[in-house]
Structure 1
Amino acid sequence: MSKNRDRADGSAYFLYHSIGMYPGKAEAMAEAFADFSRSWGALDDGQWVRALGLRQDFVELWSRLIGAPKGTLTTAENVTTALYSLIGALPEEHLKGKRLLVAADCFPSLHFLLAGLAPRLGFTLDTVPLRDGESWVRDEDFIDRWDEGVGVALVTFVTSTASHRPDLAVLVEHGRRMGSLIGVDITQGVGLLPFHVDQPAVDFTVSTTLKWLCGTPGAGILHVADPLLKTCRPELRGWFSQENIFSWDLGAFAYASDARRFDHGTPSVLACAGSVPALKWHAVQDHAAMLAHNRALTAMIIEEADRLGLALASPAEEERRGGSLMLRLPEGSEPAAIVDGLRERAVFADCRGRILRLSPGTVTTEDGVSRLFAALYGILE
């Protein structure tokens, strides 16, 4: 098989923690964007009706995916803007003089945002640290810091640095006893691991349509549960935040009664249009089979990594892990050179420092895992 053929078949694609692929993705996206272009460029007056219909398709597909009740989910440019919309909308009693609890292995962009908001909104950002030499924050350490002084806790469903999956049910049960609002960043797990906004019930959810959902950048989501939703007054607001978006009375602004209150200016419809094909593809898959395929390949990776002497930087227990596996590269190795060497062999992965991140998904195969380790043997030797 030629190198070009190898590059095209995706069998050694391990980047589902980043973008995500499914069979026919390029063709489906090209058709969706072409349809949008024809619609947007048509010499008629139906552009907005059709465009907003596509956005609504996106919202409904996402709502079904995570069990979000009608009117509790809307679009966002990304996870960071979704969290900003939520935090900037909360009633003062949830934040002022209280602590906002996060783990040190949260997605860094969210920590950057919260650290900047803390002084203005009057909360203390409390970051639960990693233990020395460990790759993820332990559930018990998170719980130990979670007392009645925590107004909001942001839990990471699956971490991007270790693929650690906390016991969400235990954390939410504890948070309810503490009287905190509880939000979950589901970005690194949704689409592979089951998630439902009511099992256990959380107050808000942020995510994107990348990773296991195989969508496009710019297609984030924000879910806010009732009754919290009705109390929120987003500071990032605009004409789409209203019940009637065509109300131009400057003195009569009123928030929409549902999650549309978290909208603001003209929405980014193009990202929704590009992601609807991926969401439709995902909706008709056998999700149990997708997870089983991932688990079979990650078990194979663990076995091969042990033979090569590469330490696991993810939980060994399958139930405490997302769909990715992180391996610790040897001291003195050059991560960038290793990634380049893999790419030359049509194997696609990435590194964070000396941590090699591997996420096998639908297009990845056992042959791809074998080629990964044949390449690593050659590069590391």
Structure 2
Amino acid sequence: MKEQRQRKKMDPKMQGNAYFLYHSIGMYPGKARDLAAAMADFSVLWGTADDAQWGGVLPLRQRFIDRWRAILNAAPGTVTTCESVTQGFHTLLTALPKAHLAGKTILVGADCFPSNHFLLQRMAEHHGFTLKTVPFRQGASFVEDEDFLEAWTPDVGLALLTWVSSTTSHRIDLARMVAHGRRIGSLIGTDITQGAGLLPYDVHAPEVDFTISTSLKWMCGTPGAGVLYVSPRLIPHCEPELAGWFSQSNPFNWDISAFAYAPDIRRFDNGTPGCMAALASLPALDWHAKQDHGGILAHNRSLTLKLIEMADRLHLPLLTPRQPQKRGGSIMVRLPNSHPAPNLISRLRSDGISADARGQTLRLSPGIMTTMDGVTRLETCLTSALRS
């Protein structure tokens, strides 16, 4: 392991200029150093025999939440932490009044994050709702907006909108979707995981009822650092099943006969909050807050354009929309069946190029540490591999 760390430090190929994994784990310069420092500070705070632990940790958790509030343009008291997108979604669903789900339909697209679909499949029978999944058109790689809108009928009590697909980077027309949902009268939620931190997002424009995300991708955070936003219009109607001492306005209320939900997002908290992921991700969010976000997006757009041109030269079918306004920050291409994806990924890795695949779909997501030289090296390696 030590030898591998030294090789990464010394080898210019391992310095991030051919890093295409922002759809999976985001990177920024100095991430390892900042993460180590944050964990060292926590170790000192938590390992000192005094009573300063929670007084130091909880404000840091709140700072993590406030960083996310800025990204979402969310009001105080509307954002809290969760372990994952799936857990945050489950927390919201089980907190809703039964009339919102029982006998109703929940609508999702076939290109939603599979974990959310697995959750809904398991919950449907027990909670009395019907799961409707909008299918792909024959030969299509993502669900068309028109098909989703056609399936969004008055029986839909809740629709989960995947803002950017993790397998094609297709971006929905969010304003159009939300406007339709408002006419229908459905609750509207968004999973913004694959776009948050790269593309501008505002929970008020268009106004949604809830939003879920993780800090892993363009935000460059760590596992477990998810967030849940709930509209202040919806919060008072929600009674989370998983309740605990932090669900109250005063967590130090010990009267077991006088429990009352907090009036704001705190009602979605429960027992003693797990703060480690928020503290570990805070340096990345602090870094992100200081950046030129327009510049980061422009950098991504210039590199994704080059990736599209590369795909055309290599005759690799493009699964991502060509129009910038219809895609996120990734480019996905279909690899020929004659070249198994695991073998090609291994070849790229040996040349210091970081990418991944889902089946024969090669996923390429350039971020702040990716360079034009990295795109050139990627094309050279792919050209050689596809010819062999």
Tell me the TM-score normalized by structure 2.
Answer: 0.97
Distance across 2 between alignment mates of 1:82 and 1:237:
14
Distance across 2 between alignment mates of 1:241 and 1:140:
40
Instruction: Answer yes or no: is 1:264 the counterpart of 2:286.
Output: no
Offset, 1:3: 9.9
Match of 1:81 among 76, 87, 90: 87
Shift in alpha-carbon separation, 1:377–1:203, aligned structure 2, 3 A: same
Matched letter for residue 198 of structure 2? L
Q: Is the 8 A contact 1:218 1:268 kept in 2?
A: no
Match of 1:61 among 62, 67, 74: 67
Matched letter for residue 242 of structure 1? Q
Offset, 1:4: 4.8
Matched letter for residue 14 of structure 2? A
Distance across 2 between alignment mates of 1:102 and 1:312:
24
Greater alpha carbon shift after TM alignment, 348-357 vs 238-247: 238-247
Match of 1:19 among 7, 17, 25: 25
- Segments of structure 1 that go 5 or more residues without pairing to the other structure are none
Q: Which residue of 2 aligns with 1:144?
A: 150
Matched letter for residue 26 of structure 2? G
Distance across 1 between alignment mates of 2:139 and 2:9:
39
Offset, 1:332: 2.1
Shift in alpha-carbon separation, 1:168–1:244, aligned structure 2, 3 A: same
Instruction: Answer yes or no: is 1:366 the counterpart of 2:372.
Output: yes
Distance across 2 between alignment mates of 1:379 and 1:128:
36
Q: Is the 8 A contact 1:96 1:123 kept in 2?
A: yes
Instruction: Answer yes or no: is 1:276 the counterpart of 2:303.
Output: no
Q: Is the 8 A contact 1:3 1:345 kept in 2?
A: no
Q: Is the 8 A contact 2:235 2:264 kept in 1?
A: yes
Matched letter for residue 62 of structure 1? W
Match of 2:203 among 194, 197, 210: 197
Instruction: Give % identity.
Output: 57
Q: Is the 8 A contact 1:3 1:346 kept in 2?
A: no
Shift in alpha-carbon separation, 1:117–1:197, aligned structure 2, 3 A: same
Matches within 5 A, 1:34-113: 34-113=40-119
Instruction: Answer yes or no: is 1:289 the counterpart of 2:295.
Output: yes
Offset, 1:282: 0.5
Offset, 1:133: 0.9
Offset, 1:250: 1.7
Q: Which residue of 1 aligns with 2:4?
A: none
Distance across 2 between alignment mates of 1:305 and 1:60:
40
1:375 is paired with a residue of what secondary structure? helix
Q: Which residue of 2 aligns with 1:314?
A: 320
Q: Which residue of 1 aligns with 2:329?
A: 323
Q: Is the 8 A contact 2:169 2:332 kept in 1?
A: yes
1:74 is paired with a residue of what secondary structure? strand
Distance across 1 between alignment mates of 2:114 and 2:194:
13
Q: Is the 8 A contact 1:89 1:232 kept in 2?
A: yes
Q: Which residue of 1 aligns with 2:127?
A: 121
Offset, 1:379: 1.3
Offset, 1:2: 9.8
Q: Which runs of 4+ in 1 moved over 6 A?
A: none
Q: What's the C-alpha RMSD, in Å, of the aligned pairs?
A: 1.2
1:65-92 Cα shifts (integer Å, max 9, x gaps) = 1101110000001101100000000011
1:180-205 Cα shifts (integer Å, max 9, x gaps) = 00000000000000000001000000
1:104-125 Cα shifts (integer Å, max 9, x gaps) = 0000000111111111111101
Offset, 1:131: 0.8
How many residues get paired? 381
Offset, 1:236: 1.5
- Segments of structure 2 that go 5 or more residues without pairing to the other structure are 1-6
Q: Is the 8 A contact 1:28 1:277 kept in 2?
A: yes
Shift in alpha-carbon separation, 1:118–1:306, aligned structure 2, 3 A: same
